[in-house]
Homo-oligomer: A and B are copies of this chain.
Amino acid sequence: VSLEDHPFVTKLSTFMKLSAGDLKRLGSIFGTEKAIKKRKDLVVDGEEYRNLCLVRDGYALRYKLLRNGRRQILNILLPGDVIGFPVSFFDRSSYSVVALSDLTVNVCSIDAYVRLCLERPQFSLALTWLAIKEAAIYAERIVDIGRRTPIERLVHFLLELHSRLLTIGLAEKTTFKLPISQEIIADALGLSVPHLNRVMQHLRKEKFISNNSRVVEFFDIPALQTLAHYQPLTFTQIPLPRSGRSSA
């Protein structure tokens, strides 16, 4: 199976070079493509899960449900993201993942990936970089929820989503499709649905954004970035030696 056009590869390419041989090995591990139906649970809180699972197409949700029925959404998984962060590295999951839309994914066990890493260490570094990126996204969410006002929070969330969609080619410069309901945004930002709704209306009224039928448009990105204290971050390249020591 060829992975060249896989959004995961697109993401990897932003911080490392992949040789044809690398791609082939990746393909040999992530060969099987799997279709998942909307609403299907991929990971269940409390159960064991030990795979890397790459989203090729569609959206998913990583979340935790508390006893009192409250839900906190940790992240929205886009094409190229890894289902299995961070749960595959613990004896059992503490989060759930559910498909938001119909999904196609490529699955590979942790064990198989580790074997690949021992053979080609750059893949292990790639995994580190991805885990770090995940941590960085979470860190910004903490700041969002902990100390930013609801308006700032929402804007920050939208800017981040836009930026992530851009890197996998699923957004325009000032516009993108927002594939999620307000309930989901509220649960991601630690707000109630009515309040989120009012904040959204405020943003529309003040002409910061428009938002019709799940398409968001930013009217003044620099202003929004300032408002939300948004700092676009660029990854460093993995500092691999320039020699061909790791080619096929």
A residues with a Cβ closer than 8 A to B are 50, 64, 66-67, 70-72, 74, 85-86, 89-91, 94-95, 110-111, 114-115, 117-118, 121-122, 124-125, 127-129, 131-136, 138-143, 145-148, 187, 189-190, 229, 231, 233-236, 238-241, 245-246
Contacts and interface: CB of A to CB of B under 8 A. Distances in A.
A67 B229 contact: yes
Contacts of A71: 147
A142 B143 contact: no
A124 to B, nearest CB: 4
A236 B86 CA distance: 11
Given A124-B124, A138-B138, A94 B231 contact: yes
Given A66-B147, A89-B133, A118-B122, 19 more contacts: A66-B143, A66-B229, A74-B142, A86-B136, A86-B139, A89-B235, A90-B235, A91-B236, A94-B233, A95-B139, A111-B239, A114-B238, A114-B240, A115-B241, A117-B121, A121-B121, A138-B141, A142-B145, A147-B187
Q: Which interface residue of A115, A118, A234, A240 has the most chain B CB atoms within 10 A?
A: A118
Contacts of A138: 135, 138-139, 141-142
Q: Which interface residue of A67, A127, A234 has the most chain B CB atoms within 10 A?
A: A127
A67 to B, nearest CB: 6
Q: State how many copies of this chain the complex holds.
A: 2
Contact of A114 (B74, B90, B118, B125): B125
A131 B140 CA distance: 16
Contact of A145 (B121, B125, B190, B229): B190
**When A and B form their complex, which 9 residue pairs have the shortest distance between CB atoms, in order from nearest?**
A146-B190, A138-B138, A131-B131, A124-B124, A121-B121, A135-B135, A72-B147, A70-B147, A72-B146
A72 B142 CA distance: 8
